[in-house]
Amino acid sequence: MVEITAELTEGTRISLSNGRHTWPSDEPFDKGGEDTGPTPYETLLGSLAACTLITLVLYTRHKGIELEGVSARYTHEKVPAPEGQKGMVDRLTSYVTIKGEYEEPVRKRLEQIVGRCPVHKTIENGAHVVDEVEFVA
């Protein structure tokens, strides 16, 4: 099990912790925040990007494939729902750059691995969120 704690520190500043590391989250000035850290969506994209690159590193290491370098850029935007559906939907787009020269079968496999990280699978498959709220005096 993975656990993260979050605490409101001041204004819209949030302190996140996993017990070993602490990092901030906030909203930008134009959204009423103080811009002291990445937004929740930026944190989500960062988690997806980190998982993708780590998955590629571990896969290539396991298969003995020389990985010269890898980088990624992710975007999030609200777009109109597909035809037949109402409203807007979230679209996450990844732009992954893998450095090196690879034969076509390896290239195709590395392209597949991009979508195989656990965070990608969770987002793509959807997650069941259970909210438990407690009030204390």
pTM of the model: 0.91
Indicate the domain borders of the chain. Answer: 1-38, 39-125
Tell me what pLDDT residue 107 has: 97
Can you name the CATH fold of 39-125? GMP Synthetase; Chain A, domain 3 (3.30.300)
Phi and psi at residue 89, to the nearest 5°: -130, 160
Q: For 3-34, what is each residue's pLDDT tens digit?
A: 999 999 999 999 999 999 999 999 999 999 99
Q: How far is CA 2 from CA 17, 19, 56, in A?
A: 11, 11, 21
Tell me what pLDDT residue 78 has: 96
How far is it, in rounded angstroms, from Cα 83 to Cα 102? 38
